[in-house]
Amino acid sequence: MHRLVNAHQHRHWDARRRYRDPRHPVAEAFARPKVEWLAGRLGIDRTTSVLDVGAGNGMFTWWWAQVAGRVEGLELSVNMIERSPCRDLLREGDAYALPYEDGSFDVVFAGNLLHHLTRPQDALAEMRRVARGRIAICEGNRNHLPMALFGAGSRVCRGVLHYSRRTLVRLVTSSGLEVLDVRAHGYVYENQSPAASLPAARRLEAVSPGGAYLLMAAVERQRTSSGPVTR
């Protein structure tokens, strides 16, 4: 995994200038269905607190705020925070040392974060510490050809080549969590898809079991009696 992660992640995000507003129609088509699916699997509603780790410009944070109660986003790059339309929900911080007490949030979420990290298991340990038993994840799916090609051609996102359904399940279960559900989803790319492609992408998402992203709902192992997902 380490060989796939570029050493200059922080420099890249501090220099990034183009990133779609979460309220843009393409950004909404990207983020909202993922948030709603995870919310349904983990019982998230207006009484639920959610922490979004690696929030970027609030791409997911904005949409979590539409379905949950107390929502905060944590982001290492000040540049990304300053470019967010929901700066009031974001604070600066490190995924390896979350600035919160144990059990501060009902749910902790990481959206397209793990493939940027050299130590994803350490970040998951911090997410478990801060969560009250529920973890949500969205990651790129290397078994989706366009995503694999994107990862292969990107210096910053090459870590996505590590993540398949199997490797993500293995990482999460080895971190002491049990997977409630996992699925591939999505044919919309938040910063790349043209708005004109949305009708076709939505039709494809409605009928296709695949997709560019992996969505995972997980809980502390002792909180469920069902067996872990290993497929």
The dihedral sign for the CA sequence 99, 168, 34, 219: negative
Tokens representing residue 70 in the block:
């107390």
Which residues, including other chains, have CB under 8 Å from residue 90's CB and lie 6 or more apart?
55, 58, 61, 72, 73, 74, 75, 81, 84
Using only C-alpha atoms, the chain has a radius of gyration, in whole angstroms, of 16
Q: How far apart are CA 115 and CA 148, in angstroms?
A: 12
Per-residue pLDDT, 71: 98
Q: How far apart are CA 79 and CA 209, in angstroms?
A: 36
Structural domains in the chain plus CATH codes: 2-223 (3.40.50.150)
pLDDT tens digits along 143-201? 999 899 888 988 788 888 999 999 999 999 999 999 999 999 999 998 889 999 999 99
- Average pLDDT of the chain, as a whole number: 89
pLDDT tens digits along 50-68? 999 999 999 999 999 999 9
What is the chain's length? 231
Burial of 183 (0-12, 13-18, 19+ CB in 10 A): middle
| Mean pLDDT confidence for 96-117 | 96
Q: In which band, very low, low, confident or very high, does the pLDDT at 20 lie, cut at 50, 70 and 90? A: confident
Per-residue pLDDT, 102: 98
